[in-house]
Amino acid sequence: MMRLLIDLWEGVKIAFQALRANKMRSLLTTLGIVIGITTVIMIHSIIMGLNAAFYTSISALGSDTLYIGKFSWMSRTDWIEARNRKDITLKREGNAIKEYATLVKAVAPTVSAQRTVKYESEKLNDVNIIGTNEEYAITSNVEPEYGRMLSKQDVDHRRNVCVIGWEVADKVFKNKNPLGRNLSIGSYPFRVIGILEKRGNLLGHNLDNEIIIPLGIFQKQYGARRWVTIEVKVIDPALIEEAKDEITGILRRVRKVEPHQENDFAINQQDMIADMYKRLTTALYAFAFGVGSIALIVGGIGIMNILLVSVTERTKEIGIRKAIGARNKDILLQFLIESLVVTAFGGIVGIIAGFVFAKIIAASTFLSATVSPVSVAIGIIFIFIVGTFFGLFPAYKAAKLDPIEALRYE
Amino acid sequence: MLIKLEDIKKIYQVGAEMVGALQGISLNIEENEYLAIMGPSGSGKSTLMNILGCLDTPTSGSYKFTSELVSEMDDDQLAEIRNRQIGFVFQTFNLLPRATAIHNVELPLIYNGTPSSKRKKIASDALERVGLADRMNHRPNELSGGQRQRVAIARALVNNPKIILADEPTGNLDTRTGEEIMEIFEQLHEQGNTIILVTHEEYIAEHTNRIIRLRDGKIERDESI
């Protein structure tokens, strides 16, 4: 054990000596490894960053909310076929779910449109106007920062009231308190009763650029023939599959779907987006792994090549060491360590460079990057694999040298 | 008996031809002998030296070192014997060029797992014995030929080997420096070491007590002085 430690330490010292003696060569040799590790770390950091951003983003959807509409979020359904489906309506589907479904705690039909909103001289274009009911607060998990949400009375009496998103409040009302003021939405006046908390983005869609108004007034002012999405909150996230089955049954019945026919509606949920995203990033991972592997193999071959040169150059040294008692495995270990030191040097530079590049890319594009211990671990594992694998052949060659031949070598 | 060779043969294959470098050498060497192996080039003295030094194994015959049968050993066992029992001194010194004198002397200790603190002490003692206490941290290229050979001798001594094998130790030195080196060998012999010199210089061989002359892979004459 003691001997192995001394061997290892000696190996490290010899390796550094050899590297110092051939600075330029070592630097060039290690470049391949630097590029390989940089690529792997950089892409891994970016994927980690994307993941973090993505999951934060879709968390706004809520894992226990179902979105019922004509269109599936999965792209596989035929769009034209889906467009010709019977509309989802508030009266038929909305009421049926409310009446018969036992596993839901809130049902909110929603319709939406883009409108320009105005207050005094301030204007904001393309604000997402959502017509819904009082249960929307539950299904979409939003709370007012100031004021209140829509009440049942607001909805039943089709009052001209609205709850505005954070950004609308900020941009249209500036420093004034919006509560109680009249906002003009597509030329109809609405009194502001609440301001939503800041919510951020959902897959690039700005959730703060939003106004919620009672469904009835929405249909009256902006037309009734719109695609309705019914948002349903399940009583318990664990029962989401059962709830889907129950709702499927109810909808098939009210929409008179024959037993042999497929569903002519879609029940969407957060998972579907996550699945799709996972499939996408798996491909990205595979690509990154491929690029990184190729760079590392090229780098590893470079290291093997330079080590073979080094073994030849130091044949005499190997002979001397063997003459004074170095065993084959001592020599093997010495060159393996040298390989690992070169690789580790390149690897550490690569890890740092990878993080730096990832951060630069994150800062200059829409991508984000997360520096994680996992990335470092991946880097270190690669270093060990490459260093050992490509060092083995030269080290074996050195270990097997005949001491007499080696001593005679000039 | 320290070394006992019995009918040692070494046959090399050169192309299609078999060349017998040693053709049946039998030889006994006692402890604290000081002997020279002489012979013209091609006589087999280098081959004999390599076998005695456990760098090579014979094609046939038996080589007993103390009680161990070297001729049957594998690479690792041979390395172990070289490390602990044999000190080499070469004509071209064979020091590691990038290592300091003391590190060169420490090398054999590294390969038997002596801890660093002990190594430094043993190595500096050995350098003192050859009169190089003030040159420990010099690299070989900062030392004269004679000094380099002394470093090599210190390295050979450092594991307290049973024999010191010197292959033309003065071959690369001027006469005066060569004499200095021979004085060191004489001292070592007086201190009880067993020394085997390989040389083709009569005046060097004359320092020893026994001269073995080889010709064509056989012992031509074995004379004690």
Distances (CA, A) of A279 to A72, A275, A276, A378, B150: 17, 6, 5, 22, 71
Does A407 sit within 8 Å of B94, measured CB to CB? yes
CATH code, B30-60+72-224: 3.40.50.300
Q: What is the pLDDT of residue B93?
A: 93
Residues of chain A with pLDDT under 50: none
Domain map (residue ranges) of chain B = 30-60+72-224
Cβ pair A105, A170 in contact under 8 A: no
From chain B, the residues in CB contact with A333 under 8 A are none
Q: What is the DSSP letter of B56?
A: S
Q: Tell whether B172 is within 8 A of chain A (Cβ).
A: no
Picking from A373, A296, A347, the residue whose alpha carbon sits closest to that of residue A44 is A373
Q: What is the pLDDT of residue A21?
A: 82
- As a whole number of angstroms, the distance between CA B119 and CA B112 comes to 11
Cβ pair A267, A105 in contact under 8 A: no
Q: What is the pLDDT of residue A56?
A: 75
Q: Which amino acid is at B196?
A: I
Picking from A352, A328, A326, A336, the residue whose alpha carbon sits closest to that of residue A384 is A336
Q: What is the pLDDT of residue B142?
A: 95
**Å between A307 CA and nearest CA of chain B:** 18
Q: What is the pLDDT of residue A31?
A: 87
Cβ pair A334, A392 in contact under 8 A: no
Q: Answer left, alpha or beta for residue B42, where phi above 0 means left and psi between -120 and 50 means alpha.
A: left
Q: What is the pLDDT of residue A192?
A: 93
Does A323 sit within 8 Å of B83, measured CB to CB? no
Distances (CA, A) of B46 to A38, B73, B169, B205: 53, 20, 13, 16
Taking chain B, what is the end-to-end CA distance rounded to the nearest angstrom?
20
The 10s digit of each residue's pLDDT in B44-74 is 998 999 999 999 999 999 999 988 899 889 9
Q: Could you say which of B82, B98, B108 has the minimum Cβ distance to residue A17?
A: B98
Q: Which of residues 27-56 of B touch A (CB under 8 A)?
A: 50, 53, 55-56
Task: Please report which helix (H) or strand (E) contains residue B37, including its range.
Answer: strand B34-38
- CA torsion angle B20 B26 B32 B35 (round to 10): -50
Q: Tell whether B94 is within 8 A of chain A (Cβ).
A: yes
Helices vs strands, H then E, count in chain B: 7, 10
From chain A, the residues in CB contact with B41 under 8 A are none
Does A328 sit within 8 Å of B76, measured CB to CB? yes
ipTM for the whole complex: 0.94
User: Degrees (nearest 5) of the Cα angle B64, B70, B71?
Assistant: 100
Does A320 sit within 8 Å of B96, measured CB to CB? yes
Q: Could you say which of B76, B88, B159 has the minimum Cβ distance to residue A323?
A: B88
Q: What is the pLDDT of residue B182?
A: 93
Query: B48-83: string of b/e by CB count within 10 Å (b at 16+)?
Result: bbbbbbbbbbbbebebbbeeeebbebebeebbbbbb
Q: What is the DSSP letter of A262?
A: P
Does A317 sit within 8 Å of B96, measured CB to CB? yes
| Helix (H/G/I), strand (E/B), else coil: A345 | helix
**Which of B94, B109, B114, B157 to mutate to test binding with chain A, by most A CBs within 10 Å of its CB?**
B94
From chain A, the residues in CB contact with B76 under 8 A are 327-329
> CA-based diameter of chain B, in Å?
54
Q: Tell whether B93 is within 8 A of chain A (Cβ).
A: no
Q: What is the DSSP letter of A313?
A: H
Q: Tell whether B12 is within 8 A of chain A (Cβ).
A: no
Predicted confidence pLDDT, tens digits, chain B (225 residues): 899 999 999 998 888 888 889 999 999 999 999 999 999 888 999 899 999 999 999 999 999 998 889 988 999 999 999 999 999 999 999 999 989 999 999 999 999 888 888 999 999 999 999 999 999 999 999 999 999 999 999 999 999 999 999 999 998 999 999 999 999 999 999 999 999 999 988 989 999 999 999 999 999 999 988
**Å between B142 CA and nearest CA of chain A:** 17
Does A324 sit within 8 Å of B53, measured CB to CB? no
Count residue pairs from A and B with Cβ separation < 8 A: 67
**Å between A293 CA and nearest CA of chain B:** 36
Cβ pair A201, A368 in contact under 8 A: no
Cβ pair A105, A138 in contact under 8 A: yes
**Å between A410 CA and nearest CA of chain B:** 11
Cβ pair A89, A226 in contact under 8 A: no
Q: What is the secondary structure of A204-229 as a DSSP string?
A: TEETTSEEEEEHHHHHHHH-S-S--E
